Chains A and B, each alone.
Chain A
């Protein structure tokens, strides 16, 4: 008994020691700033004069600002354009890579990963050139079919999809590799058994591949959705939020207010509200697609 207690204590000490770095780092970089931000959001915060307590005023201003609500809607639309396209494309592509020979698949894997290491800013600049009105690749291509040049980034209808294109291109590589890892994780024996039963490709995909990929897809959905709604550098560089405000994502809205406002409380309140929005969306996704422990043994 004594012995066990002593061991307990020793283990606890080591455990606390090992936990300490992350606990301290999280406290310094997450907990304290978060609590501080919460506090500041109730003030008219100025660096030069005494901050004035204003209660929920900052939150009320943000919530009654049509532009903020619009920007959340823009963020949702943006994520809804990017995520399905990216998931479907990378799922198909991962299946193709899985069937390739080892050498060629290594080459393809490296190639699809390249966009991931390109920064969003560089990608946006490249796509700004592609969507250029007079000399861009996009208008050159549609010109080959005799179409008039399109104002890709200035037309209310095409601006958001045009900004979504580089987002898909950027995220595609990593998503494909994660999908590929998920595919490799499914035991071959399941497919062999299905083959013996005479199942076709489609049946195998619907009944084996997709159910067993559930957790991978769930992970990609939650992280991807959050990341895409938070996206702002693409629209900052490519359209500056325009035309009108159709590409002003929530984070761009916050950045604009941060740069613009004399008092900082407003942008902090907006950030906290965005945090709530993102949290709720993640919760909804988890709710709809329950994560389950994989049933393979």
Chain B
């Protein structure tokens, strides 16, 4: 689940959470399977979360009616998101006396260990966060439950069609979306554009222009361009460019073989190779792809990053804001109606072995599919760097003064999201084999060789894992 871990690689806590991972592994190793659920905070990071979430409801309530207690694990996101989860869990617990939600916030890098250990012990939380890319496989393996009979069908009608499709497997809905965020948007420094003799109101629109501008913008102490440059980052951040050039991703629709030995994929490999070897990119990543720190600190003139970086810029690099321009990611031929980004994002789902599916789903309905004000509160705290999957929320947001004035939000909502596509649901190994090929091309392997190797690796993987014909969505 690198896919899952990837979103968490934000800000400076990546490293801190890695240490939590080790700590939690030590704890799981020593503690065996006891107490994993009884104590919601074995992995440190969640410790501050639990008192506020649980204290608000339980001690004051002495009603004899037994409340149904439901575990809810949310992956650690930005602090604002964690606070939003805590606030609305407490509100929900106050709003009725049948169900009590116990929130545990789990650091991204510790998530898989903790979840697998809990699943193995039969103590998985009844409600969990899950990203779009994992929904179909989790549904296929029975890890999560269909929500059709548990939630009001109208809630699903409220979703945009393309996003409803992200949570649909067969004719069932397996999760309820919380947000979408495009994986690639271009951030650039208007002041540096001016200095380099470029028009700050005309960001590049084609791949070639981007590379050209990047070279012009590179000077001592400032790199022209930062984008993904390691295989784990390239694996997911290049999906938008793959769609852009080829109109499809690395596999044929029936998952029977790799579909990358073509000119479109060659141009993707060449783009990264040229960008890296031109000297406009740092030879060693200054930060992970999901982290816009190098741009915020003024070390790069243009950076490709997801829409979430808007939140990071607005919260952490406020003094930089008036010099920053935001544009859709460049397109291979300048046609901005082609896909330039995939839509990542998060949903809530009910565990396949949940004891109280009705009650669990009632919380999801309340939080994600209920009063639009709850979700607007979320998008506000996220500085409008994330986008709503629900029509009614967008509708309500139109009358919100902050939201309607936000030019960056409008640009992404109008020029990026309508053309964006879903993330692939094929196993991560496929994306990783491809991105390892891209990285090796950047490090000097010829594009033809790199593609041939990636193609062979993908086809081997398909054959060994009998992947052909198993696409749950085909």
Contacts and interface: CB of A to CB of B under 8 A. Distances in A.
Given A48-B142, A262-B137, A154 B2 contact: no
B449 to A, nearest CB: 13
A122 interface: yes
Interface stretch (A100-108, A202-210, A236-244): A236-244
A119 B232 contact: no
Contact of A264 (B116, B124, B229, B436): B116
22 contacts: A29-B32, A47-B122, A48-B119, A48-B142, A48-B143, A64-B464, A120-B22, A121-B15, A131-B284, A133-B283, A156-B443, A237-B15, A237-B18, A240-B230, A242-B439, A243-B443, A244-B436, A244-B439, A256-B2, A259-B5, A262-B137, A264-B116
B317 to A, nearest CB: 17
| Top 9 A-B pairs, shortest CB-CB distance | A151-B284, A151-B283, A154-B284, A48-B142, A47-B119, A133-B284, A121-B19, A259-B112, A242-B230
Interface string B108-146: 000011001001101010000000000001000111000
B67 interface: no
Nearest to B2: A260
Contact of B230 (A65, A119, A133, A243): A243
A12 interface: no
A154 B464 contact: no
B429 interface: yes
Give the bracket for the number of chain B residues in contact with chain A: 35 or more
B200 interface: no
Interface string A117-134: 001111001001001111
Contacts of B232: 240-242
A154 B1 contact: no
A258 interface: yes
A47 B120 contact: yes
Contact of B299 (A121, A134, A150): A134
Contacts of B5: 259
Interface residues of A, number: 43
Contacts of B230: 154, 240, 242-243
Interface string B392-420: 00000000000000000000000000000
Interface string B271-308: 00000000000111110000000000001000000000
B11 interface: no
B19 A119 contact: yes
Interface string B299-328: 100000000000000000000000000000
B388 interface: no
A120 B23 CA distance: 11
Interface in B58-89: none
A149 B283 contact: yes
Chain A contact residues: helix, strand, loop or mixed: loop
Given A154-B283, A242-B230, A48 B439 contact: no
Interface string A155-168: 11000000000000
Nearest to B352: A48
A1 to B, nearest CB: 48
Contacts of A245: 231, 436
Contact of A244 (B15, B120, B124, B443): B443
A152 B283 CA distance: 9
Given A133-B283, A236-B18, A259-B5, A48 B141 contact: yes
Nearest to A152: B284
Given A48-B119, A243-B439, A259 B143 contact: no
Interface of A: 29, 46-49, 61, 64-66, 119-122, 125, 128, 131-134, 149-156, 233, 236-237, 240-245, 256, 258-262, 264
A237 to B, nearest CB: 5
A242 B124 CA distance: 32
A155 B443 CA distance: 8
B43 interface: no
B218 to A, nearest CB: 13
> Most chain-B Cβ atoms within 10 A of its Cβ — which of A233, A237, A243?
A243
A260 B113 CA distance: 11
B342 interface: no
B112 A125 contact: no
A153 B141 contact: no
Nearest to A33: B32
Contacts of A260: 1-2, 427-429
A233 B21 CA distance: 10
A281 B185 CA distance: 50
> Most chain-A Cβ atoms within 10 A of its Cβ — which of B119, B284, B436, B443?
B284
Contacts of A47: 116, 119-120, 122, 124, 143
> Most chain-B Cβ atoms within 10 A of its Cβ — which of A47, A61, A153, A244?
A47
B464 A61 contact: yes
B141 A49 contact: yes
A73 B449 CA distance: 23
A65 B432 CA distance: 14
Contacts of B443: 156, 243-244
